[in-house]
Structure 1
């Protein structure tokens, strides 16, 4: 013990290593004259990265999957258009989609609220037909898709993936057979609101059957505009991720389709997806206000549960600086300035929609396999 104490006593005390050790005095400077040398200037510091350039680079790798476009109904009312060359009558022609880094869009086949009853199905079918004709006429820029793999294939071929939906639930009436027929025609999403079986009191037993059939078909349930009771019940019943295709945060702006903090938290727990709209009435009149909604949803639901919904070519007014689809890089630049990690930005623009599509496909395959096992005759 004494030896150990002696060793400790000879160890330098704290701070001794910071003092210079004793050295012989330095020799005097040479007195011979010589050329005078100036210290080299410090190299210039690297310029700060340009957020807009960084945004465009990110979108080149992870394009925007836009959750809601009203283009079909807008085109229906135009006498002539050319989306490939560009058309000033719309917000989302092919040149502006490419300029904005958009790789996929959900084309809504909603019909106006003034169309009711049996007319809703007929108008929805007309919208479906229109979407297919428009995409076929612009095959150099657009390609129909209905799954994550088809969306990825379209992107790899240099096309913008077009997914059909959402449609109004009123189009199926009280018929699962009609839902199956719409799915066969390419429908990818159905909005569960405005019906007797998905109302203010929640889902009826038939409404729960609709959700289960959506899961079996691989069609995504859209809950924007649904009551809180309906939304919470769908989150419980659905085996697949659900969407809110046009919903911001009610804590920031009390708009009808925006979500409460409680519902955003439940959405995160269920791994659903809130697609924040670029609509002034819901998320504010500036890019910063839209970014505030994205921050809020990301914080409560999680970075894997937030996405983007342009709501272009609808009646919605858009925030300053986000007039059409070419402006998406400016929104991403704002998020870069807010220190969003690249991984979260990639989820926001592309990855989260792909995850939802894959989840719907997986849930559908699992449901169909369970159905086959139940229908298989017993042997023995």
Structure 2
């Protein structure tokens, strides 16, 4: 199966109105040349968690193109930090989760449409690669909390049609912390696989995470988890879970979060070192956590800090291929693996109709 995954075409056809840009990634008007910038030009950052939609929904007005200092994420800073793709997380209102999910997805579509020279919506690895080839930053919708689906497979499918590509299971009633998954929860995991949606296990219990990994035919992700061995934040992953994740070709996206990884850039680098050592270089990535309301390590309050982080990792002896996996390659691999699983499942499965 791995061989077939590697054969998937990850570059879509060029858009009719766009001439392909050089394959160096998004343009960067920011700080000048240097080894870190050169490396990020070849392998830009695929940021696994940005909470911008929730922040924008509370603003009366914004403009991301010239620079918007009411937020931590705008186009100039994304370009300076050499960001090539982001997962835009949805923030739901507890009393109306499905409606607020729809409103947040609508907002993402509006924002991407408003900045066509900077952003491009992407629902697959080929579309993120295409966005990069045209000098745009790919926006992948998700993760959304499981409550967005309202315990309904039909609602889940409708959210997928609207562009949702990742779901977090930490708040799911069908994924209880003590027993792992209910029978309906197992149906939801299989349907997430069939649809081609990333499964985010951040904040789930160990028993739930292991059960999901056992059932899922696609690689799973932790979108904002550091190493519990270095910081016992409840969302951080134990060495046992990291080992299982690595063995099953999953991905731990280590967050730029002072609470989860520490107040200094070197603290974040320590977590990246640890995850890489325990789970392997194929299982570690980055999450900016920008606009999430969490404090960030010094120097990483926005995307412009990524070159400094790459410099730190280089000085620690990370080889360029491992850094390229960290910044871009591992997220692309997981997206491709999820797509492959979906294509195979759709050939042999009909949409299930079970309800919780």
Shorter-chain TM-score bucket reads: 0.7 to 0.9
Report matched runs for 1:1-380 at 5 Å: 53-111=34-92, 115-117=93-95, 119-201=96-178, 202-371=180-349
Q: Normalization by structure 2: what TM-score?
A: 0.88
- Please identify the structure whose Cα radius of gyration is greater: 1
Contact 1:281/1:317, CA 8 A, preserved across alignment: yes
CA distance in 2 between counterparts of 1:193 and 1:308 reads 20
Secondary structure of the residue aligned to 2:199 is: strand
Alpha-carbon RMSD across the aligned residues, in angstroms, is 0.9
Is the Cα–Cα contact under 8 Å of residues 40 and 307 in structure 2 kept in the other structure?
Answer: yes
Residue 12 of structure 2 aligns with which residue? Answer: none
* Map of 2:25 onto structure 1: none
1:83 Cα deviation after fit = 0.6
The whole-number CA distance in structure 2 between the counterparts of 1:121 and 1:108 is 15
Instruction: Normalising by structure 1, report the TM-score.
Output: 0.82
Unaligned stretches of 5+ residues in structure 2: 1-32, 351-356
| Deviation readout 1:259-315 (Å, 9 max, x if unpaired) | 011000000011100000000000000010100000000001000000000000111
Contact 2:97 2:150 in 1 (8 A): no
Q: Could you list the structure 1 runs, at least 4 aligned residues long, displaced by more than 4 angstroms after superposition.
A: none
Q: Deviations over 1:246-270 (max 9, x none)?
A: 0000000000100011000000011
